[in-house]
A and B are shown apart, each in its own frame.
Chain A
Amino acid sequence: DTAVSQTPKYLVTQMGNDKSIKCEQNLGHDTMYWYKQDSKKFLKIMFSYNNKELIINETVPNRFSPKSPDKAHLNLHINSLELGDSAVYFCASSRRGAATNEKLFFGSGTQLSVL
């Protein structure tokens, strides 16, 4: 069983479209995240939810809206897609946030290509 699963793995779409990426974890973790790996390969945090509550919202355009229906799911909806949104998006979870002895478990990533 995959601990953190995200779908789709590949997403190719036109500029201006709206798309969603889904993420689910079966680890019983309290905290979930969305990270973006840009062209420079940095893994940058976008959002973090703890027990369905938004904890971190980095400087991300309003076109990006996370939704956590329960603590096992964190979906990412993107409106009006732009060329610069092309990247790999990783979902991740941790038991109780970023603390000593905690670690992140990542999904396999969603390669988003905006044409």
Chain B
Amino acid sequence: DQQVKQNSPSLSVQEGRISILNCDYTNSMFDYFLWYKKYPAEGPTFLISISSIKDKNEDGRFTVFLNKSAKHLSLHIVPSQPGDSAVYFCAAISPYNFNKFYFGSGTKLNVKP
């Protein structure tokens, strides 16, 4: 039972353009969301997060948007750079399930020069 879903396994974007990665969740008790970036043969690394009390969080070229009513969040990367090519995982946590981070299956982003 996957409570966090990333329905696009891959995305290809031209350098300089915007990359939009999407994530849907089913558990309305999730109150904190994270995005991780993963390069081949490495572990995922934290990128950006958002609390459910906000609808937007920005960090440089990365912005995460949260739409609680739709149970949807998205990661925007502007402008996209070739070094952004990686797999991006969405994750969520619930205050009622201490110690468990729920992950999606990832979206592989390819930024073409």
Q: Which residues of B contact A97 (CB under 8 A)?
A: 98-99
Q: Which residue of B lies closest to A111 (CB)?
A: B41
Whether B103 lies near A109 (C-beta < 8 A) is no
Whether A56 lies near B100 (C-beta < 8 A) is yes
Contacts A100-B32, A103-B49; is A109 near B101 (CB within 8 Å)? no
Whether A48 lies near B43 (C-beta < 8 A) is no
- Listed in ascending order, the chain B residues whose CB lies under 8 Å from chain A are 2, 9, 31-32, 34, 36, 41-46, 49, 51, 87, 89, 91, 93-95, 97-101, 103-106
* Known contacts A9-B41, A41-B106, A104-B46; 8 further A-B pairs (Cβ under 8 A): A41-B9, A45-B101, A55-B98, A94-B101, A98-B100, A101-B51, A104-B34, A104-B101
- Listed in ascending order, the chain A residues whose CB lies under 8 Å from chain B are 4, 9, 31, 33, 35, 40-45, 48, 50, 55-56, 90, 92, 94, 97-109
